Amino acid sequence: MPNAKDAAIIRELASHVAKIAALPAQEEKRSLWRKLNALEPARPMVMIDQVCWNEMNVNDELTLRCSDAECRGYEDYLRRTLYQWRHFRVDMVVEPFVLVSKAIRNTGFGISVEEDTVALDPTNAVVGHLFHNQFETDEDLEKIRMPEISHDAAETDRRVEVAHELFDGLLDVRPWGADPYLSLWDPISTWMGVQAALYTLIERPDYMHRLVGRMTDGYMTMLDQLEEQGLLCQPQSLIHCTGAYTDALPAPGYDPARPRTKDLWMFGLAQMFSTVSPQMFKDFEVDYASRICARFGLVYYGCCDPLDGKMNEVRMIPNVRKISMSPWVNEERGAAEIGAEFVYSRKPSPAMVAENAFEPDSVRKNLLATRRVCDEYGCPLEFILKDISTVRYEPQRLTQWAAIAMDVAGA
């Protein structure tokens, strides 16, 4: 059990979070997200996520004071939640519960990443990677194992007991199962390196079909096991940094004790396919990812990959509701393709908060351009500022960006 000092720290922070979670503003924001996700938005929505937290510690707001590692994990989550609410809340929702990860063991595909890394800022988790190619021969394909799922129920019970000790009377404790992230090509890029993978797509397409086919089979087997063992998460609050609130989920017949894939969102992406042809995108991503996406209730598709020129193929993926429009898209073409069919999930460039000098006028101009093109084509719109690797140790830049974005959104 936590020591008295650590428990006191956690409960003090949790009491502040609980008061914020009880504000009427939280349900107001949930309602706005539901409207957006139903493709009937009241206004554009705004989120900030994947923050360079190593640069955010103003006035010791993020300094951890607990000694126990488990308590420090909760403390970090609570302090970040409070910090974001104070400084750049935009359309975040503060929930009246804390998630406790179930002790799920996933053997994965049996492949360890082999890489060299380099860091410009040793305090930043964002580093450069040079991945070593581990897939060059037919025999190498045998390295891919089928994932096996198991659950350490005793460890889950222990985690839940600790959480109740810390949060009872303040925040609900919610045991949390697997929240699937099932990219095919992100893992492959770390097993081969992007350059080697792209060349192999051209030179040995049959080889790559065998590789990605085996991975897809592995993911499907993994999902079967998670469903059978009742180890999937409940319907989510977030999906890939955006609000996931929706009246469309969970699906009819939902049992909280045994969530199914069709009760959940998932997100898919093929970022290393940014430069491949639409036909190659279909053959090596859409045809395989569609098998996975068909199982889920709703899908958020894309990330940094520019999809404005591949919308015919994206439409082939089942259950897509939100589509990422990255900093590298032609915004008008993307808006014309998306129209009112999907949420236009705009990713403003995080470089705008990372320049030598922050330029608020440029931020406003950039966001207004997106707003205008989405208004013109009737696109439900969200702004998601993410992948923020630096703000040049000027955290107030995010506060300024948030104020501008909420003004452009008409909040």
Rounded to the nearest angstrom, the gap between the alpha carbon of residue 252 and the centroid of all alpha carbons in its chain is: 25
Q: Which run of H or E residues covers position 202?
A: helix 194-203
Distance from C-alpha of 259 to C-alpha of 207, rounded to nearest angstrom = 36
Distance from C-alpha of 390 to C-alpha of 53, rounded to nearest angstrom = 9
Distance from C-alpha of 342 to C-alpha of 278, rounded to nearest angstrom = 19
Distance from C-alpha of 262 to C-alpha of 95, rounded to nearest angstrom = 23
What would the DSSP string read from start to end of 279-335?
Answer: HHHIIIIIHHHHHHHTTSSEEEE-SSS--TT-HHHHTTSTTEEEEEE-TTS-HHHHH
CA angle 26, 32, 38 (to 5 degrees): 135
Distance from C-alpha of 402 to C-alpha of 84, rounded to nearest angstrom = 11
Using the 8-state DSSP alphabet, how is residue 372 labeled?
A: H
CA dist 24 to 21, 38, 71, 97, Å? 8, 22, 29, 16
- Backbone φ and ψ for 214, nearest 5 degrees, come out as -65, -40
What would the DSSP string read from start to end of 105-160?
Answer: EE-TTS----EEEE-SSTT-S--EEEEPP---SGGGGGG-PPP-EEE-HHHHHHHH
Q: What is the pLDDT of residue 377?
A: 98
Distance from C-alpha of 318 to C-alpha of 294, rounded to nearest angstrom = 5
Q: What is the pLDDT of residue 113?
A: 84
Distance from C-alpha of 260 to C-alpha of 161, rounded to nearest angstrom = 26
Q: CB of 74 within 8 A of CB of 173?
A: no
Domain ranges of the chain: 4-409
Residues 6+ apart with CB under 8 A from 48: 84, 88, 90, 92, 385, 386, 388, 398, 401, 402
What is 4-409's CATH number? 3.20.20.210
Q: What is the pLDDT of residue 357?
A: 96
Distance from C-alpha of 91 to C-alpha of 103, rounded to nearest angstrom = 31
Q: What is the pLDDT of residue 81?
A: 98
Does residue 347 sit in helix, strand or coil? coil
pLDDT beneath 70: ranges in the chain: none
Q: Give bridge partners of residue 270 from the DSSP assignment.
A: none
Q: Summarize pLDDT for 110-168 with one digit per residue, the tens.
A: 999 887 788 778 787 777 877 899 999 999 999 999 999 999 999 999 999 999 999 99
